[in-house]
Amino acid sequence: MTMENFFSFTIMQYDIVAHVLTLWYAVMLAALFYFAMTMYQVLPKYRISSVLSVVVMVSAFLILYTQANSWINNFTFDPVTNMYVKNPDTLFTNGYRYLNWLIDVPTLLLQMTFVVTLTAAVAWKARIWFVISGCLMILTGYVGQFYEMADDRMWFWIWFVVSCAFFVHVYYLVYQVITGAKQDKRIDEKGRKILSTIWYIFLFAWMLYPIAYLMPVIMNTADGVVIRQILFTIADVTAKVIYWVLLSQLAFMLSRSEGYDYNAIKKKA
């Protein structure tokens, strides 16, 4: 049973979560259209990055929509106490998010390998390990979160540590890919700057997930619930939307250096 089921919420607390979740699935659907419609700004070989982002947005939209409804249907306003109290016959679950990440994480990581230039051997090794470690990180985290409010948190911690081991491995792989990509001769100072920004964005956004995961330990209160849901959503939008914007800037730059400038295309009369 997740921590969200153990508290009653003030109108403000309840509303903030409901609004944030709703904003975020709207962001995902909006980004979906944006990514699809700007796909042709880059060379065909980089378009797969837009396609993969759309895949991520579809799944994120559907799951955040479910997540928002799970929140809204789990509480009822009590006019006596002026609080939102949990319904006796429903339970909130964060599990939808986790299984959504099973689509998103491998896809987001793979996406990177299609934009940056790597030798075929390095690219394939990265791709295989991105999928394996990415999926195992999520599945072990998913199992662990079932125990976050258990009387004895042993399994929660065991799965958290296992999940973190894969998490560190993914970080290491991303660092390798980005460092490798910087060697590409077609990438100028500006391109290297984008690659560094991708690395820092990655470092920042992905670190929010374990913090949100540990919230039942760090801050086991109604405010903790609100902060957790906000953390999840900030992480999601940074790791998915801002990440794509940066990757597509890089693809746009590389396309231009290969002689394809979308903005310069002019039809002859």
Residue ranges in contact with a second copy by CB under 8 A: 1, 11-12, 15-16, 18-20, 22-23, 25-27, 29-34, 36-39, 41, 43-45, 47-48, 50-52, 54-56, 58-59, 62-63, 66, 76-79, 88-91, 93, 95-96, 98-100, 102-103, 146, 258-269
What type of residue is 22? T
Q: How far apart are CA 21 and CA 36, in angstroms?
A: 23
Q: Which long-range contacts (CB under 8 A, 24 or more apart) does 150-155 make?
A: 153/217
Shortest distance, position 164 Cβ to a second copy, whole Å:
22
Shortest distance, position 175 Cβ to a second copy, whole Å:
27
Shortest distance, position 208 Cβ to a second copy, whole Å:
19
Q: Answer whether 240's CB lies under 8 Å from 60's CB.
A: yes
Shortest distance, position 125 Cβ to a second copy, whole Å:
19
What type of residue is 145? Q
Pairing of strands 75-78, 83-86: antiparallel
- Tell me the residue length of the chain: 269
**Residue nearer to a second copy on the CB measure, 185 or 267:** 267
**Residue nearer to a second copy on the CB measure, 40 or 172:** 40
Q: How far apart are CA 139 and CA 129, in angstroms?
A: 15
**Residue nearer to a second copy on the CB measure, 11 or 165:** 11
